[in-house]
């Protein structure tokens, strides 16, 4: 007859406590009163901690941000408009930020190259206080141009009854004096923007001069041919036609060279003046300011939390690792103890 399987045997033969032991334990439970439960649970489950602590921490952070936002929302805030962008023209340019006081060093940073023809043009945007200052600055700009040997190419002036006033001047000043002009003009108001463009014209002038020289030679040759006594009528007519053509071309080239020299000799400085205040005082609602401050505070709290996590995170991981290692060592020690007791 086969024995029942081990599991069945084990369960059937489960050792029972002796009657003496049973009485002993009953007496223990009956004699000693049960201790009272503590008011607070001695163990907090991780789940309970997370469910309570996380929302509480979040509420605290939001509350603190709100308090900060409300308490600091009374501060005034002035918003300054961004400076006007300097225009690009393909040539080296420079620009200044708005609101900066003009100084001679800041006003002119690209001097023309001496000994070469260059097209030099500059733009200045200036702000003046009011219409009186606008008028004075406009007149002063014209005098500056004339004092430097230049002239006013065009001028526009607008001083309405309401709203900002403006003036637009195009000045031509000798290129060799353009730096002085820019410095003096910059002092008429607050620089809002500046642009300088330089284009070399010397090559173009040299080419024109060479072409002029060649044409002059050609004209001289044609004239000598016309002085030949035995020219036929047709040949003479043809030569005269060519001579006239060459003379026309020579005149055009001389005019172009003159134009080029003029462009290289006189710089163009465009000056625009305005009384418009680009720094506007924006009165924002208190709620908007409070919200901004609160968001700033939240951002700061988030940064602080991230920093704390970055610093504390590795330490926490290390602590958990040490705790787990200690638990493993304790369990192994217990197993060795039980093995030794075999």
Partner 1 sequence: MTIPSTRAQAAGAERPSFAGVAEAHLDDVHAYLVYLTRDRVLAEDLTADTFEKALRLWHRFDPRRASARTWLCQIARTTALDWFRAEERRRRREQATAREDLTDSVFGEGLSPGLESALRALTHAEREVIALRVLLDLDGDEAARVLGISPTNVSTRLSRALKKLEEKVGTHVLA
Binding positions for partner 1, rule: CB under 8 A: 3, 5-7, 9-18, 20-22, 24-26, 28-30, 32, 34-38, 41-43, 45, 327, 331, 334-335, 337-342
Would you say 8 or 262 has its CB closer to partner 1? Answer: 8
Would you say 20 or 105 has its CB closer to partner 1? Answer: 20
Nearest to 151 by CA among 50, 243, 21, 266: 266
The strand ranges marked E within the chain are: 79-80, 118-127, 151-158, 166-174, 190-200, 266-274, 279-280
Min CB(73)–partner 1 separation in Å: 47
Would you say 24 or 116 has its CB closer to partner 1? Answer: 24
Q: Cα separation of 200 and 119, whole Å?
A: 6
User: How far, CA to CA in Å, does 107 sit from each of 118, 137, 169, 174, 191?
Assistant: 19, 17, 18, 17, 9
Alpha carbon 123 to its chain centroid, in Å, reads 23
Q: Cα separation of 15 and 80, whole Å?
A: 89
Min CB(24)–partner 1 separation in Å: 5
Min CB(325)–partner 1 separation in Å: 14
Q: Which two tokens stand for residue 30?
A: 């009956």
Min CB(283)–partner 1 separation in Å: 59
The answer to whether the CB of 165 falls within 8 A of the CB of 275 is yes
Residue 274 dihedral angles phi and psi, to the nearest 5°: -145, 150
Would you say 28 or 85 has its CB closer to partner 1? Answer: 28
Would you say 5 or 234 has its CB closer to partner 1? Answer: 5
User: How far, CA to CA in Å, does 193 sit from each of 85, 257, 271?
Assistant: 7, 33, 10
Min CB(5)–partner 1 separation in Å: 8
Min CB(329)–partner 1 separation in Å: 12
Would you say 233 or 342 has its CB closer to partner 1? Answer: 342
């Amino acid at each position: 007859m086969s024995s029942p399987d081990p599991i069945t045997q084990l369960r059937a033969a489960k050792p029972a406590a002796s009657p003496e032991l049973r009485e002993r334990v009953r007496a223990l439970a009956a004699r000693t009163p049960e201790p009272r439960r503590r008011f607070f649970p001695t163990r907090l489950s991780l789940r309970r901690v997370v469910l309570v602590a996380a929302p509480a921490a979040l509420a605290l952070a939001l509350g603190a941000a709100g308090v900060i936002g409300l308490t600091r929302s009374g501060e005034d805030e002035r918003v300054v408009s961004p400076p006007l962008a300097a225009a690009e023209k393909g040539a080296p340019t420079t620009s200044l930020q708005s609101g900066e006081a003009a100084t001679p060093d800041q006003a002119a940073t690209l001097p023309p190259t001496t000994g070469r023809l260059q097209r030099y043009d500059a733009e200045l945007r200036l702000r003046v206080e009011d219409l009186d200052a606008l008028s004075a600055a406009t007149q002063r700009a014209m005098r500056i141009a004339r004092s430097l040997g230049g002239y006013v190419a065009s001028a526009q002036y607008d001083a309405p009854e309401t709203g900002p006033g403006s003036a637009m001047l195009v000045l031509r000043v000798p290129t060799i004096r353009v730096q002085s002009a820019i410095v003096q003009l910059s002092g008429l108001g607050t620089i809002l923007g500046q642009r300088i463009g330089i284009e070399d014209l010397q090559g173009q002038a040299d080419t024109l001069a060479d072409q002029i020289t060649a044409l002059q030679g050609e004209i001289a040759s044609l004239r000598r041919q016309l002085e030949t006594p035995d020219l036929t009528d047709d040949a003479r007519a043809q030569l005269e036609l060519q001579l006239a053509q060459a003379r026309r071309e020579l005149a055009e080239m001389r005019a172009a060279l003159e134009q080029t020299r003029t462009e290289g000799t006189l710089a163009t400085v465009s000056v625009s003046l305005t009384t418009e205040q680009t720094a506007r005082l924006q009165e924002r609602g208190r709620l908007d300011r409070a919200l901004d401050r609160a968001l700033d505070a939240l951002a700061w709290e988030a940064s602080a939390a991230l920093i704390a996590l970055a610093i504390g995170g590795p330490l926490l991981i290390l602590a958990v690792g040490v705790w787990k290692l200690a638990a493993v060592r304790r369990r192994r020690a217990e197993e060795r103890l039980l093995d030794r007791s075999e």
